[in-house]
Amino acid sequence: MVASVVHLTESKKQIQQTARIFEDQRQAFRRNPYPTEVERRENLRRLKRLLLTHQDRLIEAIDQDFSCRSADETRIAELMPSVQGINYALKHLRGWMKPSRRHVTSLFQPASNQVQYQPKGVAGIIVPWNYPLFLAIGPLTAALAAGNRVMIKMSEFTPHTSALFSELIESAFPQDLVAVINGEADVAADFSSRPFDHILFTGSTAVGHHVMRAAAENLTPVTLELGGKSPAIISSDVPMDDAAERIAFGKVFNAGQTCVAPDYVLVPADRRQSFIDTFRDRIATMFPTLRDNTDYTSIINERQYQRLQSVLEDAREKGAEVIEVNPGSENLTDGTRKMSPHLVLGGTDDMLVMQDELFGPILPVVTYGSIDEAIDYINDRPRPLALYYFGYDREAQDHVAKHTISGGMAVNDTLMQVTQDDLPFGGVGQSGMGAYHGREGFETFSHARGVFSRQKLNSGKLIYPPYGSAFQRMVYRLFIR
């Protein structure tokens, strides 16, 4: 009872703080609605310095939250793309800010058209737990490049990272420019209900529904980066060593807790055993042991660990064959949240393993006859965030690309499409809406305002009333055809 009262009191304080900061940022934006290029560059450089100066502390905090998070995976997936994304924005910012000229038809000459990219105002960013640094810094970089004020709601499931990130942001930026909000689900619900000028949410499809519903009350535009069951197709002729190794890396990186991780594999029926054997061999090469191996990341918390165990148990009970890939034959059931990779054979649609995004080191293997059968299997299901195709025939690559729809796609690799600064990252359908990274990130957090300009000469008055003049009849003949 006492703990519950303390929680309610703390949440009330956090919600009040959110309201105060939001209003402060709105007023600050009104005072400076179009930050100069110099101001934006300084903000981005400040963010970069923060990351470089405190990278060891950030690695340690993320490791604490996971109980074991590979330091190299944090460098590869969080620090490196964050820093490179800032560098890319700094390099291209001037060109992004420059208004683009547009054509004026002869009917309206003399005049000019241009698109001006205005900051939207106060942006809200909601960050998940799986990559708590990169999925905060990436949207923040885009929002600052576009000239916005930013509020960031960190995940309650990464308390060490969230507290440190709040401390670092507060030391580097005034609260009316960038602020971090921490708190439980009730604080997050209040956050998403604020009338932001744009909200970017990364997380599950289920929570995405709530965020979009709350944003709709304020007609707040949203970018939703969700998930889904991202397939990997292995062609009939690609070397299995190539395909299985790259799929294995994408599946067990961060212990599968990646929104674009391969969620299931489509493999020709006569190559299934070859994939299983090669996948197991590649896992053993990458991770000879799991339990005490600091290169192998733990499941984030007990709730997620038990969820994944339930998925496996459901598959076994309903007749699937589950293959554990445990190179060192270690006991992972006592005192650890390390979870070995598992392959699931014979999965059916009534199994949890084939219904929801897995978000862990579980990989169903589905067989197919023809490539069009594999494509139909994908298209019969909600559109995924990522799609992976393995095969070196260019015509086959093009065929798969043209006959499927996904948020992004990688050919003969996994995950790497997300790290490309000049590619948009986003979902489609059930896997999300909108995109960011690079120029698309700048445009997401900008309002593209079309501006039509005349000077003293007004040719438009020739079509003013009274109607029926010879000139107007000529205009109709020329332009209505």
Cα(265)–Cα(357) distance, integer angstroms: 13
Asked whether 239 and 246 are in contact (CB, 8 A), the reply is no
- Residue 178 has what DSSP assignment? E
Catalytic residue among 68, 73, 78, 225: 225
What backbone torsions phi and psi does residue 175 show, to the nearest 5 degrees?
-65, -25
- Cis ω for the linkage preceding 466 (within 30 of 0): yes
Q: Which tokens go with 293?
A: 């191996």
Spot the catalytic one: 73, 78, 245, 259: 259
Residue 29: which of 135, 134, 151, 115 has the closest Cα? 151
Beta pairing, strands 446-453 & 342-345: unpaired
Q: What is the DSSP string of 358-409?
A: --SSEEEEEEESSHHHHHHHHHTSPPPSEEEEE---HHHHHHHHHT---SEE
The answer to whether residues 441 and 139 touch, using CB atoms and an 8 Å cutoff, is yes
CA distance 107 to 100: 21
Three-state DSSP state, 150:
strand
Residues 6+ apart with CB under 8 A from 368: 266, 267, 268, 269, 374, 377
Concatenate the DSSP letters of all residues of 231-249 into one string.
EEEE-SSS-HHHHHHHHHH
DSSP state of 254: G
Residue located via tokens 């799609």: 387
Of 32, 14, 17, the residue nearest 177 (C-alpha):
32
Helix (H, G, I), strand (E, B) or coil at 427: coil
Q: Is 317 a catalytic residue?
A: no
- Tell me whether residue 259 is one of the annotated catalytic residues: yes
If DSSP codes are grouped into helix, strand and coil, which group holds residue 233? Answer: strand
Strands of 446-453's sheet in order across: 100-102, 112-119, 446-453
- d(C-alpha 80, C-alpha 214), whole Å: 33
The tokens for 270 are 């006569």
Question: C-alpha distances in angstroms, 275 versus 173, 234, 257, 365, 419?
Answer: 50, 9, 22, 9, 27
Q: How far is Cα 144 from Cα 147, in angstroms, rounded to an integer?
A: 5
Query: Which residues are annotated as catalytic?
Result: 225, 259
